[in-house]
Amino acid sequence: MINKKETNLLNPKNWVKNYSEQLFRFALQRVNDREAAKDIVQETFFAAYKNLENFKGEVSEKNWLFIILKNKIIDHYRKKTNQLFTELDECEEAFENYFDETGHWKKETAPHNWNADYKNPVESKEFFEILNKCLQKLSELTRIAFTLKYLDEKESDEICKELMISASNYWVVIHRAKLQLRACIEKKWFVK
């Protein structure tokens, strides 16, 4: 049961007002679907309310809600994993265009030197805006894996476990994400 001290730490009445927008933005960036993000945030609040007695006060109320939200996002990813492998198979041909028969870069698809100044706040802000637009163009599995690896900074084995994919599938997905993002960023920012 919750003791008086712990009860004072939580205020479920203010969760929606205080945290819904932040939780929604976080979820939307990861699931790329407004309705799914809304549902996940709602599930987060419901799960938190249902588990009030498990709150130990070791983290802030906000952090506790974000921990629950991240778990709900992982649940969302797991539900979609089987359907996402169909997407992976369907986009196989697109990657043949990057390399020749010996596995080397084709001249027209080889990486360019970006010569960007990442310390310049204006360039950095513009880069992240374009990166977000390019992320939205990736297939769902590719975007999810890339987001978990590079935005959420999760370990590869943890991502494989969460998405229920093999290590070799994971590395193929990450490789494809990098290829597609590089091509998109070059097209939208560097090679205009």
Q: What confidence tier does 3 reach under pLDDT thresholds 50, 70, 90? A: very low
Q: Which CATH architecture has domain 4-77?
A: Orthogonal Bundle (1.10)
Unique residue bearing structure tokens 């596995």? 103
Burial call 6-41: b when 16+ CB within 10 Å, e when fewer: eeeebeeeebeeebbeebbebbbbbbbeeebbeebb
Question: What is the tens place of the pLDDT at every residue in 16-45?
Answer: 899 999 999 999 888 888 999 999 999 999
Q: Mean pLDDT over all residues of the chain?
A: 79
Residue 93 has pLDDT above 60, yes or no: no
- DSSP calls for the chain: ---HHHHHH--GGGHHHHHHHHHHHHHHHHH--HHHHHHHHHHHHHHHHHTGGG--SSS-HHHHHHHHHHHHHHHHHHHHHHHHHHHHHHTHHHHHTTB-TTSPBPGGGSPPP----TTSHHHHHHHHHHHHHHHHHS-HHHHHHHIIIIIS---HHHHHHHHT--HHHHHHHHHHHHHHHHHHHIIIII--
Burial call 63-89: b when 16+ CB within 10 Å, e when fewer: ebbbebbbebbbebbeebeeebeeebe
C-alpha Rg value of the chain to the nearest Å = 20
pLDDT for the residue numbered 56: 82
pLDDT for the residue numbered 43: 95
Provide the CATH topology of domain 91-190: Arc Repressor Mutant, subunit A (1.10.10)
pLDDT for the residue numbered 20: 92
- pTM score: 0.57
Residue 8 has pLDDT above 80, yes or no: no
Range in 28-37, 108-117, 178-187 the model is least confident about: 108-117
Residue 175 has pLDDT above 70, yes or no: yes
CATH 1.10.1740.10-classified regions of the chain: 4-77
Residue 122 has pLDDT above 70, yes or no: no
pLDDT for the residue numbered 96: 62
Residues 6+ apart with CB under 8 A from 139: 84, 87, 88, 91
pLDDT for the residue numbered 2: 43
Q: What confidence tier does 86 reach under pLDDT thresholds 50, 70, 90? A: low
Range in 4-18, 24-38, 52-66 the model is least confident about: 4-18
Q: Is 143 exposed, middle or buried (0-12, 13-18, 19+ CB in 10 A)?
A: buried
Q: pLDDT higher for 21 or 91?
A: 21
Mean pLDDT of 114-137: 74
CATH 1.10.10.10-classified regions of the chain: 91-190
Q: What confidence tier does 85 reach under pLDDT thresholds 50, 70, 90? A: low
Q: How far apart are CA 65 and CA 70, in angstroms?
A: 9
